[in-house]
Structure 1
């Protein structure tokens, strides 16, 4: 049971603006996994009366005509709310996370406009409702296809110097009372934007808008139908359906920590995930639906996709993860053609970057598909879906490992070695290649171990079983020196390295753990040497470091990394380097999971790396390997209660951090009570749970109060994110 008043709890985590946002970095974002908008204004005098809904649809791409390359995403345009007066003070905006709804009170020099907007959770339609004062009766909606956008607005977030912008034909027409803007980039590529205004009362209007990929009659028909259907339904009922989807989504799990800023950050990432993709939508690329000026208008597989999906598993939001699984399954043939022709009979691969069709030739960066398979392995281990394991993951991982088998070389030392390959992001501009790169050795070792485990799980024989075992026996060890893990053979980490590609054996693959003192020392040495180099650290460096520190149980250190991350993410929790990238904040949410709950190596670890200042924390229905739902309460610096529900009847070993008398009761297929005495330092308990069973664990003879509820923060920070409001950290 829980005592969560969801609407009240989520309200404190909302994004809020006390002045008009004026850039992508601090805009309000809304989305439904395919269509989205980043909402902000402009300070140029000629456009101060405009609130922009910069619109994106993730699958709208254009084939390049200027040079070879994958079809990049392209900007679509924007729906502008053009007011009579300039937007002035007091103006406020807020993204209501619980209802996935943007609301605003826009004060202008002529009057006031009240606004609310959603991108419907189950239909490809965005709606903007406005209510105007007398002085703003002339407020109007105006759609501008990207070629028509005023240069003042088009370049507000930087010039598109690195971005392909296709030549575009724009046709405007009206069909069945619906306005249409048809953009054609080529015979194949384009998109249709449709919109219609409904006058509800003299001062209240609703604009319904849709974007559909393509420019043929079928696309036009879909765009028109989407708007007509949405505008014909009672608006409050339509919004109610949207809200119910989000309410069900949030309730899948719950966490609360005594740090108002980090707690808000976490819940905004949960909102961002479901705004960026859904099970039946394109996978998460570098930006989600919120495309702006970028050198990376596509999908990157040497870290970005993997980290974007990293929080879905523990957060018990596996439906979101299915968009990645589906993309891999639907593009099997392209993954095969990514490897050289001589290997295609038994291998597959994935290069660095591509479009949603996953066409990316494998060059010197070999391990990307294996790493993606690790995400799918997590999807399996957290669901125990044997059908997916058999039909999707096993054949994919088998082919991915086979490509490594083609390039393995036997050395004079009798060991198997890998030729020079790229360790992602190390010496990128120099295209540095190293023999026996940690990145590839770790992924190959993990791949062989996992294939053998799958065969055992599915009780199946495979003719390559012997080869996988041989690789594990003869593969050269991961290169190590006095500074910890090296980049590769004869290649120490000599300068700043933003990526943790040389630490994959630690995280996320967990090939080594902390049970042995020498392993703990190696992990700690590697982490501190890497972070100590400092030079090229980025936001995702800090999230990786936080997760590795959590493996060591160093909660205070993990917290420092996340607090450092808060200094470089954008006010709306987006992240930008040379261009915007979505994975870093999402990986920050996974780092928070790692502080509260870990499951790897066949063991579940409850509150494994809680910082000293988090004397209280609670979570409900976080998910682990073996398909367990875990809930726990921490009070006065001690774990008070742990609840474990088995969804698949798998073996359960749980590390509680407790010693002394431990009691637990089981309900479900049977009712039973158990009491054990656990010696200090031996905090593992084996729970015998059938599918559907639930166990509640506590210390001592008395059952404590085990209700789940939000914890109080010593320094409560409400609605810190959205517009830049640093004073809220200090209680102004």
Structure 2
């Protein structure tokens, strides 16, 4: 995908061996999602909407559910009463959680003798292409989701389709059981689809329209079933009146996808599979967080038809939402973050109410780890409801956006106030410990689950989150003098709260010298394989560990050894890309690459979609099942970007994470802090050039990518440096090129 970005047509061949919907080709416009799969020469079209919810139920926030009460119960050892502070609402006598709903599918029968020979996905056009053979002749069927309406289009210029059967989700036993348990009426079948009435949410009609050379399937809401049908048919009627046919209607969709890809960073690597994982990860991020549409949930818009999705397909804010958007920064697709930020902005009254209920302050924000699209807690792992690091992780994402975009207004108007209100909640959760502070009730996500092992004092994860907030607030105060009172609070906490928790290292075999390692919380080293790398979050993504400090480096590296020793036996799919980045940050690029290859083999389906559990036994205890979650496949793209460009405590590193076996590689358009766009070339094992373009006035700190003398070309001038860290002050619109002085060209010769 290098030459002529405007004309890119990156086509991924697809397997025809599709056992169920998530093996299929994913199509999306950010609202309507479709999965195209194959059964006995029948096209199976599974459809859903990213906003299709049954909102009833969820965690009930009791009046006595306060931090002080919770702390008192835990201190007294009354864990069951503490857990009882977070009941789940009941409907028809059963616990009920808000959930995304299964929608259904359409089964498309081809004429006798028609054989699907091959299938592919054009990433840059958002289109599936199926090659069919009929009596020796080749025919092409194309499918896409229209960019401007919730409509799936299927071209049929040669009348290969003989019948289309609508199959609502109620047709499947597992979905029917849910509907029956919680008082949802069966859908009303229509000749061209169905309409589903819901108890407290809008009705949704899913209808099909056929015209010469094309089918269109639409899903739209209405106040009641009749209104939903009318609105859906109006959408389909507008398409039927369009004289342009499939090609004309799809033209705008193709151009929209091309415009997104023109902005995206490109990579080149002599490893086709890793390259494909990158581009498919970017594609899935665009499909699940299309700019201007809906923030990504656990499955994005691609929900199966035979059951309601696991874990409600909700918003998990302790890793999953974040991973769905990690590539947006480096891939230069910052607008993909806007649906999340817009959603969070709309939730601010809820976040403020949560903070007031829990810690009694008027000026705080608090976000639970598992919520629906209205910000209400879904239920489940109750310890996540009080995990304030969910809130600060959103603050970190907002801060990172502002730094990568160079958006000072967003930093000051949105990020700074959000960080302050988040820190105030943490402050209320602290207590005096002599001259210092501590966090007596803290979480290391998913360790211990909802058991008494799930809460303890001074978790490294909480401490790292607080450290991040304090560091950034103090930096902003130094630069902008924006809020002295908040800065004073941050400075006080920074001085009195530990940056992490450490204890005696677990391995003494290689040295008799005493040493420390990062712990999950006080007196709790990593004692077993654990899927959530929360105690290493100060390395990534929060970047609070200063590896130039000998004590911090020792604690981190000892924790790394213990993490490796405990192994991957209880990891999930989403553990792998985060692990890859951690390996890279800790100087093991070959292990970073292997982590992604293991992800591909152990957790990916033929479609490169990722499972929560391993594909087979022997690697992880979490095996079996068919739970697709989109975050790992997307976060893989971020891990691959990390091989090319990473920013560690303000210093940018280029090619440092690329395994040495890759002698030739290149990239273009990778974004980094300060609103810089970088491109680079490595050949014959040496970095040759790095090009820097600046979108803002800012200073780039670049670790010398050549390990020696560098020539710098800027505005016709030529300078040299051998500094380990090259400091470049650039103005908006400036571009410069750094060359390896060993190249022997004009720059090297002066």
Question: Which category describes the TM-score, using the shorter chain as reference length?
Answer: 0.7 to 0.9
Residue 63 of structure 1: aligned partner: 55
Q: Of 704, 709, 728, which aligns to 1:687?
A: 728
C-alpha offsets along residues 514-551 of structure 1, whole Å, 9 cap, x if unaligned?
33455444333322321321231222222122111211
Are positions 1:435 and 2:457 aligned together?
Answer: yes
* More displaced stretch, 622-631 vs 219-228: 219-228
Alignment of 1:36-185 (within 5 A): 36-42=33-39, 48=40, 50-64=42-56, 65-66=91-92, 67=94, 70-85=97-112, 91-106=117-132, 114-132=140-158, 139-147=162-170, 149=171, 167-171=184-188, 179=192, 181-185=194-198
**Structure 2 runs not aligned, ≥5 long:** 57-90, 379-383, 507-516, 613-624
Q: Residue 530 and residue 702 in structure 1: after superposition, are their counterparts in 2 closer, same or farther (change >3 A)?
A: closer
Residue 337 of structure 2: aligned partner: 321
**2:345 & 2:190 partners in 1: Cα distance?**
39
**1:516 & 1:194 partners in 2: Cα distance?**
62
Are positions 1:254 and 2:266 aligned together?
Answer: yes
**2:180 & 2:367 partners in 1: Cα distance?**
23
**Structure 1 runs not aligned, ≥5 long:** 43-47, 200-204, 707-732
Residue 192 of structure 1: aligned partner: 205
Q: Of 461, 464, 467, which aligns to 2:489?
A: 467
**1:703 & 1:225 partners in 2: Cα distance?**
67
**Secondary structure of the equivalent of 2:325?**
helix
Residue 690 of structure 2: aligned partner: 642
Residue 30 of structure 1: aligned partner: 27
Alignment of 1:551-590 (within 5 A): 551-568=585-602, 569-577=604-612, 579-590=627-638
How far does residue 99 in structure 1 lie from its aligned partner after superposition? Answer: 1.9
- Structure with the bigger RCO (C-alpha within 8 Å, sep 6+) is 1
Q: Residue 620 and residue 162 in structure 1: after superposition, are their counterparts in 2 closer, same or farther (change >3 A)?
A: farther
Are positions 1:426 and 2:447 aligned together?
Answer: yes
Residue 206 of structure 1: aligned partner: 214
**2:102 & 2:496 partners in 1: Cα distance?**
50
**1:30 & 1:303 partners in 2: Cα distance?**
24
Residue 299 of structure 1: aligned partner: 315
**2:32 & 2:43 partners in 1: Cα distance?**
18
Are positions 1:542 and 2:583 aligned together?
Answer: no
Residue 437 of structure 2: aligned partner: 416
**2:500 & 2:632 partners in 1: Cα distance?**
27
Alignment of 1:271-420 (within 5 A): 271-292=283-304, 293=307, 294-297=309-312, 298-341=314-357, 343-360=360-377, 363-412=385-434, 414-420=435-441
- 8 Å CA contact 1:70–1:354 kept in 2: the answer is no
Q: Residue 675 and residue 533 in structure 1: after superposition, are their counterparts in 2 closer, same or farther (change >3 A)?
A: same
Are positions 1:494 and 2:527 aligned together?
Answer: yes
Q: Residue 459 and residue 238 in structure 1: after superposition, are their counterparts in 2 closer, same or farther (change >3 A)?
A: farther
**Secondary structure of the equivalent of 2:374?**
coil
C-alpha offsets along residues 99-150 of structure 1, whole Å, 9 cap, x if unaligned?
22111135689998742100123332210112457xx56x122323222x36
Are positions 1:241 and 2:257 aligned together?
Answer: no
Residue 725 of structure 1: aligned partner: none
- 8 Å CA contact 2:54–2:200 kept in 1: the answer is no
**1:565 & 1:102 partners in 2: Cα distance?**
25
- 8 Å CA contact 1:448–1:468 kept in 2: the answer is yes
How far does residue 349 in structure 1 lie from its aligned partner after superposition? Answer: 0.9
- 8 Å CA contact 1:163–1:295 kept in 2: the answer is no
Residue 10 of structure 2: aligned partner: 10
* More displaced stretch, 494-503 vs 682-691: 682-691
Q: Residue 378 and residue 144 in structure 1: after superposition, are their counterparts in 2 closer, same or farther (change >3 A)?
A: same
* More displaced stretch, 279-288 vs 19-28: 19-28
**1:208 & 1:434 partners in 2: Cα distance?**
55
Q: Residue 112 and residue 9 in structure 1: after superposition, are their counterparts in 2 closer, same or farther (change >3 A)?
A: closer
Are positions 1:592 and 2:640 aligned together?
Answer: yes
How far does residue 87 in structure 1 lie from its aligned partner after superposition? Answer: 7.7
- 8 Å CA contact 1:698–1:704 kept in 2: the answer is no
C-alpha offsets along residues 329-364 of structure 1, whole Å, 9 cap, x if unaligned?
111112222335253511111112111112239744
Residue 663 of structure 2: aligned partner: 615
**1:503 & 1:393 partners in 2: Cα distance?**
24
TM-score for both structures, normalised by structure 1: 0.85
Residue 710 of structure 1: aligned partner: none
How far does residue 38 in structure 1 lie from its aligned partner after superposition? Answer: 1.3
Q: Residue 86 and residue 185 in structure 1: after superposition, are their counterparts in 2 closer, same or farther (change >3 A)?
A: farther
**1:583 & 1:603 partners in 2: Cα distance?**
27
Q: Residue 168 and residue 618 in structure 1: after superposition, are their counterparts in 2 closer, same or farther (change >3 A)?
A: farther
Q: Residue 672 and residue 70 in structure 1: after superposition, are their counterparts in 2 closer, same or farther (change >3 A)?
A: farther
**1:319 & 1:16 partners in 2: Cα distance?**
29
**Secondary structure of the equivalent of 1:403?**
helix
Q: Of 667, 675, 682, which aligns to 2:719?
A: 675
**2:8 & 2:482 partners in 1: Cα distance?**
51
TM-score for both structures, normalised by structure 2: 0.84
Q: Residue 322 and residue 661 in structure 1: after superposition, are their counterparts in 2 closer, same or farther (change >3 A)?
A: same
Q: Of 523, 541, 545, which aligns to 1:508?
A: 541
How far does residue 458 in structure 1 lie from its aligned partner after superposition? Answer: 3.6
**Secondary structure of the equivalent of 1:284?**
coil
**1:649 & 1:164 partners in 2: Cα distance?**
60
Q: Of 454, 465, 475, which aligns to 1:453?
A: 475
How far does residue 276 in structure 1 lie from its aligned partner after superposition? Answer: 1.1
Q: Residue 508 and residue 160 in structure 1: after superposition, are their counterparts in 2 closer, same or farther (change >3 A)?
A: farther
**2:746 & 2:114 partners in 1: Cα distance?**
51
Residue 681 of structure 2: aligned partner: 633
- 8 Å CA contact 2:55–2:372 kept in 1: the answer is no
Q: Residue 86 and residue 410 in structure 1: after superposition, are their counterparts in 2 closer, same or farther (change >3 A)?
A: farther
**2:180 & 2:744 partners in 1: Cα distance?**
61
Q: Residue 493 and residue 566 in structure 1: after superposition, are their counterparts in 2 closer, same or farther (change >3 A)?
A: same
**Secondary structure of the equivalent of 1:331?**
helix
**Secondary structure of the equivalent of 1:595?**
helix
Q: Residue 524 and residue 488 in structure 1: after superposition, are their counterparts in 2 closer, same or farther (change >3 A)?
A: same
